[in-house]
Amino acid sequence: MSWWSWDHAIATLPLLLDGFRTTLLATVLGTLIAVVLGLVVAIVRRSAPGIITAPVTGAVEFIRMTPLVVQLVFANLLLAPYFDALTIGIWVLGIHYTTYMAEVYRAGIDSVPKGQWEAATALSLPHTRTWRAVIIPQAIRATLPALGNYAISMFKETPFLMVIYVAEMVNQAQNYGAATYRYTEPITIAGLIFLAASYPTSVLVRRLEKRLA
């Protein structure tokens, strides 16, 4: 038996493309969650009183120090009666990467020159307006490349969703292999699709990083 069959390669494409749509959906929505919650967490840790920042910091460190797979399985055990697996997976991905993006935002906020804070104080700007009009725009500009890199990392980690039976691309490849005993074609094509989708994005992120620098 030949190690490669074009018939199987063509036959697996519809399943893989269907799985890719799920992969892309999980990545986009998970990234949106992480981008928004990461900024909220960074601001809370930077400006809230200790009674609030302490539990937030503890939660962030706990999530960062536990494997994504464990978080997916645990969340699925708790929430499966109430939500579908894809919804659970998206939120787990988003919250997991929130902890990393929050650190990126924190570094961006710390990079804002001290004079900007002093100027806002001298102008008697309200605290919320200082954040909204002065600090956040500069912090986000400094952190865009790193946020993009984490989005790419999330895209490459979506295959972990198979542990809670989400029909993402690698899971579909595994299902095709289990049904036909042909794993080489679907796994290879899934890897090529990941490469084709992530490489141009990484190039754009590098160009953005150079432009902002």
- Structural domains in the chain, CATH included, are 6-212 (1.10.3720.10)
Are the CB atoms for 157 and 173 separated by under 8 Å? no
The residue type of 174 is: Q
Q: Whole-angstrom Cα distance, residue 189 to residue 160? A: 18
Return the amino acid letter for 31: T
Nearest to 93 by CA among 24, 23, 25, 27: 27
pLDDT score recorded for residue 213:
60
What pLDDT is attached to residue 117? 75
**Whole-number Å distance between alpha carbons of 158 and 181:** 24
The Cα diameter of the chain in Å comes to 78
168 phi and psi, to 5 degrees? -80, -175
Q: Which long-range contacts (CB under 8 A, 24 or more apart) does 129-133 make?
A: 131/43, 131/47
**DSSP 8-state code for residue 165:** T
Cα–Cα dist 120/130, whole Å: 6
Task: Give dist(CA 90, CA 70) in Å, integer.
Answer: 15
Distance between CA atoms of residues 107 and 59, nearest Å: 19
Tokens representing residue 11 in the block: 């036959």
Using the CB atoms, write b or e for 180-209: b if 16+ within 10 Å.
eebeebbbebbeebbeebbeeeeeebeeee
pLDDT tens per residue, the chain (213 residues)?
A: 588 888 888 999 999 999 999 999 999 999 999 999 999 999 898 887 778 889 999 999 999 999 999 999 999 999 999 999 999 999 999 999 999 999 999 888 887 778 777 777 777 777 777 777 777 788 888 788 888 899 999 999 999 999 999 999 999 999 999 998 899 999 999 999 999 998 888 888 888 777 766
Structure tokens at 95: 């919250």
